[in-house]
Amino acid sequence: MKFIIKLFPEITIKSQSVRLRFIKILTGNIRNVLKNYDETLAVVRHWDHIEVRAKDENQRPAIRDALTRIPGIHHILEVEDVPFTSLHDIFEKTLPLWRETLEGKTFCVRVKRRGKHEFTSIEVERYVGGGLNQHIETARVKLTNPDITVNLEIENDRLLLVKGRYEGIGGFPIGNPGRRAVADFRRLRFRRFQLHADASRLSRALLLL
């Protein structure tokens, strides 16, 4: 499994040295929070995102949930990473993943690219969007306010099929990597539990009125 971690926007406008420091702290925090979920887990930092890769599929929900509670993360993309050879190959790999979801819906395709290619992002959007529209009879392209946006990311010769997007809590990474990050994560989880408990007590009290 693979997750792409998008940084809190305020991090990206900092100076190069400050940005790198924040990314390093966030990478360390992610690694320390997730290390008990999967021994094969790898966390790799890049200039504009962080990759999380793991092999234990049983831990997918737990890893995904944990990432949504680590400060410094704007959102998380759950992706399927596959090779591709051509525009048509990109379409053929996208169709089975989205066919059922797009039935009876309006949609558009949005593409982000990194690396050198013989096509532009707009050309991919048009080709894949046209193919989906042709092969899914009840789906219809709508570029403004569609029901569903099909997000694709292309990195060199790899296609990242976005299977889900999950919002993080934002903010800046907390402290230095290590025990403090784990403690902060547990504190956030406890606070969320308290909020649910308080809401439950309030609901019971209202029923008694």
Instruction: For the beta carbon of residue 131, count every other beta carbon within 10 angstroms.
Output: 18
Query: Quick one: pLDDT at residue 89?
Result: 97
Q: pLDDT by residue (tens digit) across 116-173? A: 999 999 999 999 999 999 999 999 999 999 999 999 999 999 999 988 899 999 999 9
Query: Quick one: pLDDT at residue 31?
Result: 93
Query: Quick one: pLDDT at residue 178?
Result: 46
Q: Where are the domains of the chain?
A: 2-81+165-208, 85-156
Q: pLDDT by residue (tens digit) across 182-199? A: 555 566 665 655 555 555
Q: pLDDT by residue (tens digit) across 48-65? A: 999 999 988 899 999 999
Q: What is the 3-state secondary structure (H, E, C) of 91-150?
A: HHHHHHHHHHHHCCCEEEEEEEEECCCCCCHHHHHHHHHHHHHHHCCCCEECCCCCCEEE
Q: pLDDT by residue (tens digit) across 51-102? A: 999 988 899 999 999 999 999 999 999 999 999 999 999 999 999 999 999 9
Query: Quick one: pLDDT at residue 185?
Result: 56
CATH 3.40.50.20 fits 85-156, yes or no: no
- The verdict on pTM exceeding 0.75 is no
Query: Quick one: pLDDT at residue 182?
Result: 52
